[in-house]
Each structure stands twice: as structure tokens, then as C-alpha cells.
Structure 1
Amino acid sequence: MAECPGVAHLAEMADGGLARLRAPGGRLRADQARSVAELAETLGSGALDLTNRANLQIRGLQRDAGPALASALGRIGLYAEGPADRRRNVLLDPLAGLDPTESADLTPVAAALDRALTAQDWIGELSPKFAFALDGGGASGVAAVASDVALLAMDGRLRLALAGVPLGVSVAPEEGASAGVLLAKRAAQAGPDARARDLDAAALRRALAEAGLGQPAAPADAPWPAALRPVFGLMTQADGRFSSILPVPVGRLAAAMLRFAAEAAEQGEGELRLAPWSAIVIPHLDEARATDALERAQGVGFLPPDLAARLRVRACAGAPACVRAREPAKALALAVLAEAARRPELAPETPRSLHISACPKGCAGAAPADLLLLGAGDRDGYALHAHAAPRRPGGALGRCAGDDPAAVLSLLSAMPGAS
């Protein structure tokens, strides 16, 4: 897609218009989730995507559906009118306030940053790709997600990183939103396509100091998170209650799955959270209800948690949803997971990652996988690559027709090591 979509600003895909919904903090009330599911069915094809930045995408929309969708989502608090809609890219750890291992709950920081960005008169000058990640220092390692600005809680303060590189500055939690806005404003002033990698880190450190924000950070005792660490299944919260973390197969949600999550959320405090590792978190449940939600979720299309932990699968939309694609990457990925759920003995015994990409663009992510199936526009099937990413595939091991999910599982199980 040429531009980052929003709610009113749709991306044109081969299967229709695509809208991207940025829920503040990645959180939805149960009633909001039900409304989104209904809109996906009435205005779109009924299919939704849960993205790598915990946004929801509604697929198969009519080209002129943007205004009606924006009006409906605005009534339930899920649309920011104007250019801010496509620029509120704030990823908060979905386990914030739940994870007993986190250093700080950054929920207030994320909310303040979202509000502040929306209110800026220069927000339309910021690249729609400019993104934040807020990590409370817990189990999931959200600071490892590719972002322009990351804030990581450590030792009572928030350390800043620019394009994945620590800036050498830390701020107090109450300064986090102001620091984020300052960095975003500098990017907006640098041009509509400017990203963190285009900015001068030394100049930003000076600007933060001049604004009275932050102080030089001492060398960290713990390393910056190197990779996202997905959490699935039953999690005991810091308050002794439980969360059910439901794995979404390859990020593809049917409207019925979102309705199920809303129903499960109402057994707690009526809130659900979107995770950047293709999962929905249902927090604040007692143990019996959390366990019941996990068991029943598989009946509507969610994956068994143990399978999701062993078999990590990414895939782009593929054909026929994408005009670039010759191969049905998403459909093959879903078939692989369905086969593994039906015949668990075919799944790898130790964790393995699989990436199916219909072309070298690599829309589903840039991280390497143990096994990469890479399609091309000039021939059928996939090239096979070991420990590779679509944009850096290296030499091919051979080819695969991509019509036999069991054969793909066999190939993956035979791969040495894990990435």
C-alpha cells in the first residue's frame, strides 16, 4: 500500500478498502469490540487483521466507506478526527499493570502521549509511520518492536531509544509524554517523511535538556530487549487475578472471534487488549473464568496456547487480497496452523518460526524466521530459505509448491536451531 491507512483514509487493496483502527493503548471496551465486529460485517467483508503494532484493520470495505466508518467509530471513541487519526502510533505493552515482573505501569504515559499528539497543530506534518513503543520493563519486551521512539521503564525512570538505539537519556515517568511529543515535533519539522533515523541524536539530547526534560542515563544494568517475547495462555496478574491471552492465528480475526473476546471480557472488567504478537488479552478474571475462556476460544478460531508458543507463524495478506501477490500467503499460513492444531504430532517439538511472504517486500515483518517461504511475481510457488527475512533472504534451499500444509510443517520441523 502506498500510504498508511486510517479510519477515514482507506488503503486500496485488491479485496477492497482497508481501514486501520488505532485503539488508544491497544485497549477496547467490550461494547466497542462488538461495534467493530458489526462494522466489519456490515461495511466490510467481515475479516479483520491484528497488526504487529496491535492495531485492528477492517478489510473488504467499499471505496467510499471511510466517512461512514469514521462517523460510527467516532461515536464510540475510536476515531480522532483529522490528520491525528493516522499518526497516533503509540504501542503500549498489553500486559501493562498486569505483569508482576514489570518495573512500572506505563498506562498513564501512553494515555497522556495519545492525547498530546492528537492536540498538536503540527501533527499533520508528522510521518504516519512515526511510531512509539512503551515498555514497562516486564516479560514481553515490547521495547524491541521496531519504533522511532521507545520508552523503557528501568530503575524508576524511563530510558529513551531512537530507532532502536538508546539515546543515553532518561526521564521521569511524568515527563514521558512531553519528551515523546518533543521528539515527534522535531521529526515533523524535519519533513513529512522524516523518521527517527533521520534525526541528530546529539541535537535531540540538547533539546530535551533545554526543555528541562530528562537527564543523562547511566549505563543500564540490564540490556535493552532484543526481541519481542510473546506470552500466551493463563497469566497470573500482579493483583492475584488472571488474564487469558488468546492466540490469534496469523493475526487474522473473524468478527465472531472479536465478539467472543468481548463476551469473555465482560466476565472481568469489560476490557480487552490487543497484543503485537497476534493475541488478545482478557484481563481481570478469576481463575475458573480465565481457564474457561481459553478452552472455549479454540471453538471460534483461536489457537491452543501451547501450539502458538511452539509454532510462530507470520504471513502477509497474499493473493487475492494484494495486487502484488501471486501466492495466497495468509491462506497457506492459516492452513499450516489448522493442520498443526488437528495433528499436533506434526508441529515442531521445540519452538520454531515460519514466515510466508508472497513477495520480497515483507509486509508481515522484517525479523528473520527459521523457515522463510518467499514468493515472487514471475513464477508460481515459493523459494525456501533458512534463518532468513524477505528483504534479506540469502540463497535458496529449494522450492515449495505451497499447496501441502503438512509438507511445510515437515520442512519446518527439520530446520536446525531456532531464530
Structure 2
Amino acid sequence: MTARTPTPARLRADACPGALQTHAAADGALARVRVPGGLLTGGQLRALAAAARDLGDGALELTSRGNVQLRGLADGAEAGLGDRLAAADLLPSATHERVRNVLASALTGRAGGHVDVRPWVRALDAGICADPALAALPGRYLATLDDGRGDVAGLGGDVGLLALSPAEVALTLAGTDSGLRAHPDDAVALALAATRAFLDERTTQGGTAWRLAELDDGVSRTRARLSGRPGVTVDVPRAPTLGPVGPATQRDGSVALVAVVPLGRLTADQVELLAGTTDEVQLTPWRSVVVPDLAEDAVDDAAAALHRTGMVFDADSAWTRVTACAGRPGCAKSLADVRADAARAVVDGALPAGGARQHWAGCERRCGRPRGEVVDVVATGTGYRVGWS
């Protein structure tokens, strides 16, 4: 394992928002609801849609960690939101709510992969919430549970599980193979041990780092705190820039539809439509939604209904290559309404840089910028500056 150059010491505490600890934005408070594995039932979707309508601006934002955000909340709305989320089983622990960041392979258990990681999602989340010490994890902590298809293991999780076969799982630390192995039945216990080891090493080094990769020799030192069965290290797959899009045939013969959500923003009406289409959806790191378990004769009608609301099922659509920060009016630092400008460019066929993968940002901070090679389209107050970086 190669030691990484540590990030300079953080000078402020991690203030990553949650459902109960919101962020003050220009358009009101912003709440982030953790959705481990991106898995949401129909009832939970309806609860989120109602909360967005009653307490926020009427929409949900999808994040690159498969979570959801509500914007435009009034001062003091946190208590009411917390009650709604708890009733929908979306807030199992008030003390741990910001650290429940868990990504899972898209379509896991339905198509592709060596194992179904959905049981891992539930077990890891329950294990984190059951350990009072783990409430001290930074809000940026991330676990990645990859079923072997290689879609989320490369997203830089602090702790991760990567299925190498139906019988062997690799533990990853800061997106690299730790060399430790476990049977799938024991994998979550190893991930929890690694999470505790990360927290212990973080405390030893002063307790200011937001991510394992920021610690001084963090991977090696965290690994040294663990015991387990060693294996030959492997290269962790690079994460794709785009996840699955469109229909996918499941093992059971039914069909999953994967819909890209333009700029990651779902209206409450769209959320309720999703809730009425299937019993469970999965949100992905690519700001798309997996709508699974559809009968073959129901796929066309479901796709048409969702497409009419603006969801995208074409992997070649320009919407799959465009992301944006909040922009005006949500962010006081933004110099433009970047979402409206980006949407207009897509509709008019006028995307810069030949329509290459691009991120529109209202200021130099470029919040929400995706990983990998991407063109920056940055507002300057007198237009946009376009360039690769």
C-alpha cells in the first residue's frame, strides 16, 4: 500500500448538514437525509414528498452519495422534519444520523454482481447506530459496499467492502485494497472493526481529519489496528463516470428501469409517481433512480409516465453529462442561476466544450463537482468561464 500525502490539518469542525443539524442557505435551511444504500420504500418516498411540500420548496435534491436534500426550510423546521423522518424509519438514531453514509452497488441483488449487498447495508447501518462511540465519526465518513461489479468501490470510501467472488470479500480503506479478506457472512463485522479503527486513529492524530485519506499514513496505520485473514492485494476498479441508464433485465425475469434525474432535482409529484410505480427504489451516486421489479408488460407504460415528467432513459442524452451546484437563489455566493442556465443550454443544444462532461458552478468553489475529468463552467458575473481542470 502506498502512503498518501496527508491533507493539511482541518481548522474547523466538520459541519456537514443532516436532518437535525441543518445548513443556513440563502433560500432557507437545507437538510440532508441519509439514505443508506440509496434504498427507499414507497412509503418513505411519500413521506419525503410530503415533507418537501409542507416544510420545504417542494422538491428533493439527489446527492452524489445517494442521499436526499430538502431546501427552503423555515427556521425551527428541524423538529417537525425529524418527527416525520422517524415515523418513516428514516431516522433510526438522532445521534448517528449524519454518519450513516453508505453507498451500495446499483441493481445489487437483482442483476449482476457476486453477492446481494442489501443485507450488508442494513447490518452495517444497524451496527453503526448501535455503537455510541461511532456517533463521533465525521459527517464526511463514507462506506462503500460493492457487490463485485466495480461501480462504487472506486468512489473513495473511508471503509469499503468489495466482493471478489461469491465467497471472498476484500476490505478497502480510503479506496485501496487493505489486503484483508472475509467471507460474505463476516464482511460487515470486518467493516465495522475498520470503522472503529479509523475513528481511533483519527483520535490519536488529533481528531480533526474529515476523511481517512487525510490522516498521516492513514491507510497503513488503520490497517495495523486490524486483524484478519490476509490475501493478495488487487487493484480497486475505477468508478465509472456514468452508472447504468435505461432498462435492465433482472435475474428473476422482471425489469429494472434506471432513470437519470436532470440536475438531480425531483419534484414532489415525481417522487409520488415513483412511489406508485414500485415498492422500492434505489438512489445512485450518479443522481439516478433505479425503479426495479417491473413486469415486462408494464415497462413501456412506466417509462413513458416517468419520461413525461422529465426523467431520462437515454445514456446518450446530454443530461447524463451535466451537473450543477445550487446556484442562485439558493446560494448567496453564487453569481448566476446556474441550474436555469445549464438547463437552457441543454434544451437549446448549446452546451459548451462540444457537450463534453461538464459541471456548472456559480463561483470558484465549484461545489458538487463530480470526480474524474470534467469541464468547469464557472460563473464570473459577466458570463461563464469554460475550461478543463
TM-score by length of 2: 0.88
Amino acid at match of 2:36: P
The Cα of 1:223 is off from its aligned counterpart by: 5.2
Secondary structure at the aligned position of 1:373 is classed as strand
User: Partner residue of 2:29?
Assistant: 17
How far apart are the structure 2 equivalents of 1:231 and 1:27? 16
The Cα of 1:351 is off from its aligned counterpart by: 8.1
The Cα of 1:353 is off from its aligned counterpart by: 0.9
Q: Does 1:128 align with 2:135?
A: no
Contact preservation (8 Å) 2:198, 2:222: no
Counterpart selection for 2:212 from 187, 191, 196: 196
User: Partner residue of 1:234?
Assistant: 247
Q: Does 1:144 align with 2:169?
A: no
User: Partner residue of 2:323?
Assistant: 314
Q: Give the unaligned 5+ runs of structure 2.
A: 1-12
Contact preservation (8 Å) 1:45, 1:59: yes
User: Partner residue of 2:4?
Assistant: none
How far apart are the structure 2 equivalents of 1:2 and 1:67? 22
The Cα of 1:360 is off from its aligned counterpart by: 2.6
Secondary structure at the aligned position of 1:81 is classed as coil
Amino acid at match of 1:141: D
The Cα of 1:142 is off from its aligned counterpart by: 1.4
Contact preservation (8 Å) 1:371, 1:384: yes
How far apart are the structure 1 equivalents of 2:241 and 2:292? 20
1:49-198 equivalences under 5 Å are 49-100=61-112, 102-138=113-149, 141-155=151-165, 156-189=167-200, 190-191=202-203, 192-194=207-209, 195-197=211-213, 198=215
Q: Which has the higher contact order (CA 8 A, sep 6+)?
A: 2
Deviations 1:106-127 (A, max 9, x none): 1111111000001111122211
How far apart are the structure 2 equivalents of 1:3 and 1:254? 27
Counterpart selection for 1:249 from 262, 266, 280: 262
The Cα of 1:20 is off from its aligned counterpart by: 0.9
The Cα of 1:5 is off from its aligned counterpart by: 1.2
User: Partner residue of 1:374?
Assistant: 378
Counterpart selection for 2:285 from 276, 279, 283: 276
User: Partner residue of 1:294?
Assistant: 303
How far apart are the structure 1 equivalents of 2:346 and 2:295? 29
How far apart are the structure 1 equivalents of 2:79 and 2:184? 37
How far apart are the structure 2 equivalents of 1:319 and 1:67? 27
User: Partner residue of 1:324?
Assistant: 333
How far apart are the structure 2 equivalents of 1:106 and 1:324? 40
Contact preservation (8 Å) 1:261, 1:280: no
Contact preservation (8 Å) 2:29, 2:72: yes
Secondary structure at the aligned position of 1:68 is classed as helix
Deviations 1:242-262 (A, max 9, x none): 001111001111111111111
Distance 1:223 1:164, change over 3 A: closer
The Cα of 1:187 is off from its aligned counterpart by: 2.8
How far apart are the structure 2 equivalents of 1:375 and 1:204? 41
Contact preservation (8 Å) 2:363, 2:379: yes
Contact preservation (8 Å) 2:40, 2:281: yes
Amino acid at match of 2:262: P
* Residue range with higher mean Cα deviation, 88-97 or 163-172: 163-172
How far apart are the structure 2 equivalents of 1:347 and 1:320? 22
Distance 1:193 1:365, change over 3 A: farther
Deviations 1:297-353 (A, max 9, x none): 12112124244477411111011111221122222223333445xxxxx789x9831
User: Partner residue of 1:362?
Assistant: 366
Q: Does 1:45 align with 2:18?
A: no
Distance 1:141 1:67, change over 3 A: same
How far apart are the structure 2 equivalents of 1:360 and 1:146? 23
How far apart are the structure 2 equivalents of 1:120 and 1:135? 23
Secondary structure at the aligned position of 1:54 is classed as coil
Q: Give the unaligned 5+ runs of structure 1.
A: 341-345, 389-419
Deviations 1:117-146 (A, max 9, x none): 0111112221111111111112x6111223
Contact preservation (8 Å) 1:37, 1:259: yes
Aligned length: 368
Contact preservation (8 Å) 1:47, 1:60: no
How far apart are the structure 1 equivalents of 2:370 and 2:87? 36
How far apart are the structure 2 equivalents of 1:167 and 1:248? 35
How far apart are the structure 2 equivalents of 1:297 and 1:180? 37
How far apart are the structure 1 equivalents of 2:199 and 2:225? 15
Amino acid at match of 1:193: T
Deviations 1:211-265 (A, max 9, x none): xxx3222143x75234344111111112221001111001111111111111111
Distance 1:223 1:70, change over 3 A: closer
Contact preservation (8 Å) 1:116, 1:181: yes
How far apart are the structure 2 equivalents of 1:75 and 1:370? 40
The Cα of 1:368 is off from its aligned counterpart by: 4.2
How far apart are the structure 1 equivalents of 2:373 and 2:131? 39
The Cα of 1:206 is off from its aligned counterpart by: 3.3
